Structures are given as structure tokens and as C-alpha cells.
Amino acid sequence: MKENLFEMGTDFGDDWSSDNKVKAIKNISTEIKTPQKHQLHLAKEKRRGKVVTIVKPFHLDKITLQALLKTLKKKLGTGGTIKEGNLEFQGDIPELLRKHLEGLGYRFKNFP
């Protein structure tokens, strides 16, 4: 007896599959850039009544991004995390974050 009863006697060929749970692979850029070539964007979100400051997109490898996060958390005195290549910090701190990142050589898209 076959594993899946719905596939009995069917020929899907090379391009077809009965498994609809296969997820498409996201096209993620793996290009690593220097700090001067970054064009960062600041955003704020409110989550469960608290403000989170988000800086994105970073084009760095994982180890460098973790080191940058650790440095910024110490300088700002706040908590933070990495999610999908973005840095998220607790609190409403975009001015301080911008100042410290510009001091490290990063650039921003728009300056208010």
C-alpha cells in the first residue's frame, strides 16, 4: 500500500508535487557592505503598549551584526535584539541611535 492514498495511480512528473506545504525560498540579499555604503532607515512601532525602535536594513554577516548590537546596547543602556537582519531596541530612542550609528560610519536615507 502506498503512503498517500490520493497519489494512487497518478504520475506527477518532474514539475508536479502533491505536497502543498513546500514554502517558497525568499530571495535574501547576502551582499556584505561597508558602513559607508549602508542606507539605513529608522522606524518606531508600538508593541503591547511599549515603543520599539527599529533600524533596517543591515547588509552584514551574522557575527558582525551581533557585535554591533552588543556595542549599541551598551552605549544606549537598553535592551535589543536581531530579527530578520533588523536591529530592534527597547524604547523611543531614534535620536541617540542615529547619533551612535553615524559615529560608527553608517549613513541614513532621510534626515528629518
Nearest-angstrom CA–CA distance, 43 and 91: 12
Assigned domain for 110 exists: no
User: Which tens digit of pLDDT belongs to each residue from 61-94?
Assistant: 889 889 999 999 999 999 999 998 889 999 999 9
Residues above pLDDT 90, as percent of the chain: 38
In a domain, 60, yes or no: yes
pLDDT exceeds 80 at position 29: no
Assigned domain for 83 exists: yes
Mean pLDDT of the chain: 80
pLDDT at residue number 17: 59
- Residue 57 CB contacts under 8 Å (≥ 6 apart), including other chains: 40, 41, 85, 86
The pLDDT assigned to 63 comes to 92
pLDDT higher at 66 or 38: 66
pTM: 0.67
Residues 80 and 69: beta-carbon distance below 8 Å: yes
Domain count, the chain: 1
Helices and strands in the chain: count of H runs, count of E runs = 2, 4
CATH number of residue 35's parent domain: 3.30.780.10
Residue 97: domain span: 29-103
